[in-house]
Structure 1
């Protein structure tokens, strides 16, 4: 297990380096000039060159890359080149908890809905309940998250006035203010995720229920609850957990659009603003964090396999 963890961690670092390097060069290849964005195309040639020199953007691209990589290896992601030169780590530290709160709550809500829905659909196959879950899953997958967010704002914030429409309140200012500002965006982000998990649980459970050992368990006279919860569901979890790990990372991507709909200054909004401003350090830092979440989510899923099924071992 230790050797496996070391190998996977090193592999994760290589993947993050490759992603960050690709983003570094792509940002400098695509059309657009960050200096022009900062000066709104109004600066004279002297001011443009002076600012370019100050930010180090007049150096050869390989020199910029070596400096960036050396600083990144030491934990320094640079400073925003737009505005007040705030360190990127500070911007990410302010934005990341908001995005993680949104994605985490969306994950919890989706799982709470999807698990019982998927179990009901699998155990009551071809009944009204199964058709209802299947229809709801297809509906959830078909609706864009930003459209769901706008619809929720219109119904629950504007008309009913039950929940706030926009903004974010830190948890330290109170549990209910924090939760109330995240309920609507979490539902918007988690709707499609819930549909995916429900469909996956249904499919995996149907496969398990047809196995020989489930027939033997039924022949032994075990109760229905024991059959489903003790034998079928644990054995159906491995493909479901795989999808959950990937989908949780994708929730971060879904939060990019939803954060803008609900005016939450999270990582997604920071990334979009950085792209619009051509703010290289901000975009590079934000994508590096997102790639780290993707990579280590998959690593966590691999470790959960050994918890779900003790027969799985990572000895090499």
Structure 2
């Protein structure tokens, strides 16, 4: 229990530190968000808006107001568009980002594990060389470039999937998947390449153990040896890495959401940074 409490306290400190750093970094960027938002507005009106939002106060006072409002659950309103509450924007964006990360996780797990097992079982074969080359290319290519290629091939030319947008699961599982297949592949393929290499390495190490040779000498079916004895032990490091990769998939979706125009957390964040929308970024 003490360990759990300590970890929670550490997490809260990290969240506070990151939020504070972002707050002061935004203020350090040259320019005025009100002037950028209302380029042709009268200076008197701009000053009134600035005073209403508290941007005319010293930075330290702004920080104290922001900290108080954040602790009370009031994240403010967006400076742009319909001035939607930040809480509402986050609530709308989270399901899209989680859906994309989930599909990407399934893609990386399925493709990476399958390729790694086949590559290890067929060591030094053409399949092994092919999967190793594919894994090398997958690790080398950025996810946004993969996304653009997927759009050109499968959305523009073949017209199998939509190029941009998102449909919630309430619109139907088939529609939800159609809109997430391409972005899920764009995010998941680089991770599947890493998982394939790790699975191959772990499988080769396990297949060289004495108990695998003993199982084969007893006349057990090769499929049973692979999946019942070898894979069970080889999965230990793979599952550990995949747990870490799950968090990385969320960060990997930031750019891909912009490529596919999915209004998830990544797209909202980037647009808000470009617009200098302080409440949303903070």
The 1:238–1:216 alpha-carbon spacing in structure 2 relative to 1, beyond 3 Å, is same
The residue correspondences of 1:136-215 to structure 2 (distance < 5 A) are 136-211=134-209, 213-214=211-212
Q: Counterparts of 2:113 and 2:3 in 1: how far apart (Å)?
A: 31
Q: CA RMSD in A?
A: 2.1
The 1:208–1:31 alpha-carbon spacing in structure 2 relative to 1, beyond 3 Å, is farther
SS in 2 for 1:125: coil
The 1:16–1:233 alpha-carbon spacing in structure 2 relative to 1, beyond 3 Å, is farther
Find out whether 1:99 has 2:97 as its counterpart: yes
1:248 aligned residue = 246
Find out whether 1:81 has 2:79 as its counterpart: yes
Using the TM superposition, give the Cα deviation of residue 222 of structure 1 relative to its aligned residue in structure 2, in angstroms.
4.8
1:288 aligned residue = none
2:47 aligned residue = 49
Using the TM superposition, give the Cα deviation of residue 242 of structure 1 relative to its aligned residue in structure 2, in angstroms.
3.2
The 1:222–1:87 alpha-carbon spacing in structure 2 relative to 1, beyond 3 Å, is same
The residue correspondences of 1:1-316 to structure 2 (distance < 5 A) are 2-40=1-39, 42-211=40-209, 213-214=211-212, 217-218=215-216, 222-284=220-282
SS in 1 for 2:163: coil
The 1:235–1:158 alpha-carbon spacing in structure 2 relative to 1, beyond 3 Å, is same
CA contact (8 A) 1:55 1:81 kept: no
Q: Counterparts of 2:225 and 2:76 in 1: how far apart (Å)?
A: 56
* Stretch moving more, 234-243 or 250-259: 234-243
Using the TM superposition, give the Cα deviation of residue 219 of structure 1 relative to its aligned residue in structure 2, in angstroms.
5.6
TM-score, length-normalised on structure 1? Answer: 0.82
CA contact (8 A) 1:205 1:232 kept: yes
SS in 2 for 1:56: coil
TM-score, length-normalised on structure 2? Answer: 0.91
Q: Counterparts of 1:7 and 1:213 in 2: how far apart (Å)?
A: 42
SS in 2 for 1:242: helix
The 1:219–1:77 alpha-carbon spacing in structure 2 relative to 1, beyond 3 Å, is farther
Q: Counterparts of 2:9 and 2:66 in 1: how far apart (Å)?
A: 20
What are the ranges of 5 or more consecutive residues in structure 1 without an aligned counterpart? 285-316
Q: Counterparts of 2:144 and 2:153 in 1: how far apart (Å)?
A: 14
Corresponding residue pairs, total: 282
Q: Counterparts of 2:254 and 2:103 in 1: how far apart (Å)?
A: 15
Residues 226-248 of structure 1: CA distance to partner in whole angstroms, max 9, x if unpaired? 44333333333333233223322
The 1:23–1:112 alpha-carbon spacing in structure 2 relative to 1, beyond 3 Å, is same
SS in 2 for 1:82: coil
The 1:32–1:111 alpha-carbon spacing in structure 2 relative to 1, beyond 3 Å, is same
Deviating 4+ runs (over 4 angstroms): 211-223
Q: Counterparts of 1:76 and 1:31 in 2: how far apart (Å)?
A: 26
